[in-house]
Amino acid sequence: MNERRHLPLGTVVKIVGSSENYVIVSQFPAVDINQKNGYFDFGGVPSPIGLSSQNIVFFNLDDISEILFVGYIDRDFQGFMARYDELVESIKYPKHKNIGDSK
């Protein structure tokens, strides 16, 4: 991958094991998988269709094989990144690891 710790909304990525491109639409989504609460780094929708069936794919930074386009970075996102470690530490759920269980 690369040295990025996180990516802004609107970023377009390829995910390991998928030929589709995904647009990041959610940061740290909490998800219940097999009756276990947890979170992923991102939620994304297929590009160019977007959210058509309310089925979001959840994935982590390590699941990204390629960044095709970096989304909008403004002061709000920069502030978000400045508080990144604090935000991650405040999440009450464990981080989900298995991308295959997120669809």
DSSP summary character for residue 94: P
Task: Specify if 50 maps to a domain.
Answer: yes
Instruction: State the pLDDT confidence band at 4, using cuts at 50, 70 and 90.
Output: low
Task: Specify if 2 maps to a domain.
Answer: no
Shortest CA distance to 59 belongs to which of 11, 101, 4, 10? 101
Task: Specify if 86 maps to a domain.
Answer: yes
Looking at the DSSP assignment, which residues form a beta bridge with residue 66? 14
pLDDT at position 100 is: 53
d(CA 93, CA 91): 6
Residue whose tokens read 């990041």: 24
Question: Residues 34-74: pLDDT tens digits?
Answer: 888 999 999 999 998 888 877 789 999 999 999 999 999 99
Residue 59: domain span: 12-94
Mean pLDDT along residues 91-100: 79
User: How many structural domains are present in the chain?
Assistant: 1
pLDDT at position 45 is: 95
Task: Specify if 75 maps to a domain.
Answer: yes
